[in-house]
Structure 1
Amino acid sequence: MILSPLKRYFYLPLSLTLLSGVAFTSLSAHAQNANSFSPEQRKEIVSIVRDALKKDPTILEDAVVSAQKARIQQKAESATKTLADKKNVLNNVLPTDGIIGNPNAKNTIVEFFDPRCPYCKKVLPELIQLAKDDKNVKIIFKVVPILGKDSELQSRAIAAAARQNGYVLMMKAIMDSKEEITEDTIKTIAKQQKLDGDRLVQDMKAASVTQALEDNVKLLRDLGIDGTPALVINASKIIPGAVSYDTLKTILKDKSAAPAESN
Structure 2
Amino acid sequence: MTKSLFQRNLHLPLAFTLLAGVFFMPLSGHAQSTDQFTPQQRKEIVSIVRDALKNDPTILEDAVIAAQKARTQQKAESATKTLADKKNVLNNVLPTDGFIGNPDAKNVIVEFFDPRCPYCKKVLPELIQLVKDDKNVKVIFKIVPILGENSVLQAKAITAAARQNGYVVMMKAIMDSKEEITEDTIKTIANQQKLDGDRLIQDMKAASITQALEDNVKLLRDLGIDGTPALVINVSKIIPGAVSYDTLKTIIQNKASDK
Tell me the secondary structure at the aligned position of residue 179 of structure 2.
Answer: coil
Structure 1 unaligned regions, length at least 5: 1-16, 25-33, 259-263
Matched, 1:21 2:31: no
Q: Which amino acid aligns with 1:119?
A: Y
Q: Which amino acid aligns with 2:231?
A: L
What residue is the counterpart of 2:210 in the other structure? 210
Contact 2:107–2:234 (CA under 8 A) maintained in structure 1: yes
Tell me the secondary structure at the aligned position of residue 180 of structure 2.
Answer: coil
What are the superposed Cα offsets for residues 130-171 of structure 1, whole Å, 9 maximum, x if unpaired? Answer: 111111100000111122211110000000111222111111
What residue is the counterpart of 1:168 in the other structure? 168
Structure 2 unaligned regions, length at least 5: 1-13, 22-35
Tell me the secondary structure at the aligned position of residue 187 of structure 2.
Answer: helix
Matched, 1:233 2:230: no
Matched, 1:54 2:79: no
Q: Which amino acid aligns with 1:130?
A: L
What residue is the counterpart of 1:197 in the other structure? 197
Using the alignment, how far apart are the partners of 2:43 and 2:223 within structure 1? 44
Q: Evaluate the alpha carbon distance shift between residue 257 and residue 87 of structure 1 in structure 2; reply closer, same or farther with a 3 A threshold.
A: farther
Using the alignment, how far apart are the partners of 1:169 and 1:50 within structure 2? 62
Contact 1:144–1:217 (CA under 8 A) maintained in structure 2: yes
What residue is the counterpart of 1:157 in the other structure? 157
Shift of 1:51: 2.9
Q: Evaluate the alpha carbon distance shift between residue 194 and residue 116 of structure 1 in structure 2; reply closer, same or farther with a 3 A threshold.
A: same
Q: Evaluate the alpha carbon distance shift between residue 64 and residue 23 of structure 1 in structure 2; reply closer, same or farther with a 3 A threshold.
A: closer
What are the superposed Cα offsets for residues 178-226 of structure 1, whole Å, 9 maximum, x if unpaired? Answer: 2111000101111222222112111111222122212222222222222
Using the alignment, how far apart are the partners of 1:175 and 1:100 within structure 2? 16
What is the RMSD computed on CA atoms of the aligned residues? 2.5
Following superposition, which runs of at least 4 residues in structure 1 exceed 6 angstroms of deviation? none
Count, aligned residues: 231
Shift of 1:257: 9.2
Q: Which amino acid aligns with 1:243?
A: V
Tell me the secondary structure at the aligned position of residue 112 of structure 1.
Answer: strand
What residue is the counterpart of 1:244 in the other structure? 244
What residue is the counterpart of 1:118 in the other structure? 118
Listed as ranges, the matches of 1:53-132 within 5 Å are 53-132=53-132
Using the alignment, how far apart are the partners of 2:15 and 2:246 within structure 1? 43
Calculate percent identity across the aligned residue pairs.
83
208-217 or 153-162: bigger deviation? 208-217
Using the alignment, how far apart are the partners of 1:174 and 1:257 within structure 2? 36
Shift of 1:239: 1.1
Q: Evaluate the alpha carbon distance shift between residue 69 and residue 256 of structure 1 in structure 2; reply closer, same or farther with a 3 A threshold.
A: farther
Q: Which amino acid aligns with 1:19?
A: F
> Structure 1 length normalisation: TM-score?
0.80
What residue is the counterpart of 1:4 in the other structure? none
Contact 2:126–2:244 (CA under 8 A) maintained in structure 1: yes
What residue is the counterpart of 2:6 in the other structure? none
Contact 1:251–1:257 (CA under 8 A) maintained in structure 2: no
Tell me the secondary structure at the aligned position of residue 135 of structure 2.
Answer: coil
Using the alignment, how far apart are the partners of 1:232 and 1:84 within structure 2? 12
Using the alignment, how far apart are the partners of 1:202 and 1:215 within structure 2? 21
127-136 or 205-214: bigger deviation? 205-214
What are the superposed Cα offsets for residues 71-125 of structure 1, whole Å, 9 maximum, x if unpaired? Answer: 1111111111111111011112111111101111110001111111122112111
Tell me the secondary structure at the aligned position of residue 141 of structure 1.
Answer: strand
Using the alignment, how far apart are the partners of 2:130 and 2:256 within structure 1? 20
What residue is the counterpart of 2:28 in the other structure? none
166-175 or 222-231: bigger deviation? 222-231
Using the alignment, how far apart are the partners of 1:94 and 1:149 within structure 2? 24
Contact 1:23–1:45 (CA under 8 A) maintained in structure 2: no
